[in-house]
Structure 1
């Protein structure tokens, strides 16, 4: 008994136990698939429709096809390769003799899906501690921010060489608000701030902010 099937835009004439190479089909090795049947029969008795069940033997890439492109009267030359995804199938049954095996495969696929459900719910329990950790992290951050303000009043940092209103805002956002803080900077402090404000280290050293801040702090 033979059948004419259609898959991937192509037609194949198959018998039982035939092995064919078709366009890529979804599934893993060992899975069974049902194929669209145009006609099936046995010699004189030909019927339309029916069912063909096949097993996936291999998922692979086909042979490389070289694609060469050129243009007349120019030096345009392009060579590319392409390998089409293919699925190797073995025909198990024709006429629906083994089509009943497919529902069993569906049940087997549903079981692991049910097991995966509790695994997805597990991360939700960890969400509550994360909020607590965020609150704990905010508490020391607020304390350090309060310590950075040496005096209650903020100084006009634009008096420093090369510092404009926009750059002063960046310094304030980093916790630097007074000349006393700038005057107390050490190399390690400048390097840390340079990670937050790009180019700060070079600017502070070239303009002499530390020495200038000491003089401005005395004036205040």
Structure 2
């Protein structure tokens, strides 16, 4: 099955297993995202309702595309400007192209098992007494709000003024 999706102002024809490079999307490598703007879907010559189809993809990496050199020049005016630019992009691997109803039915089954484990974990710690927190060190000064302790501890000492040189003798020439 294939689908045409729109992301980053561009359209891509994708199928399960394809790898594509798109404009930067939020997320880290390994995250799974859903490309929601499906324009067209089908299999072979048969077209399906694009509203019922979802495309799920896995982020392979966040990278930069190739460098584009921008060079401006105005002849006979001694004007030259050279700039480079590398656009941020996301590499995606298309995991599945399919019916959104089928994926929604499969998702609760995966989530049902962890909920049972979480309930068991919540019940177990409740029976144990709560551990006491260690008292903070009294000799350490409290950190100011809005600053990190590492910033206050690693401040460089103030620089000393450079020693003054002896005044050079100046002779008045007349």
The TM-score, its normalising length taken from structure 2, stands at 0.56
| TM superposition shift of 1:19 | 0.7
Change (3 A) 1:128 1:3: farther
Alignment pair present for 1:130 and 2:141: yes
The TM-score, its normalising length taken from structure 1, stands at 0.45
Describe how 1:92-111 pairs up with structure 2 within 5 A.
92-95=95-98, 96=100, 98=103
Segment of structure 1 superposing worse, 22-31 or 89-98:
89-98
Q: Which has the higher contact order (CA 8 A, sep 6+)?
A: 2
Describe how 1:12-161 pairs up with structure 2 within 5 A.
12-36=12-36, 37-42=38-43, 43-49=45-51, 50-71=53-74, 73-95=76-98, 96=100, 98=103, 130=141
More helix by share: 1
- For 1:127 and 1:44, the matched residues in 2 are separated by 74
Bigger radius of gyration: 1
- For 1:86 and 1:73, the matched residues in 2 are separated by 39
Q: Root-mean-square deviation (CA), in Å?
A: 3.6
CA contact (8 A) 1:21 1:86 kept: yes
| Matched positions, count | 122
Change (3 A) 1:126 1:46: farther
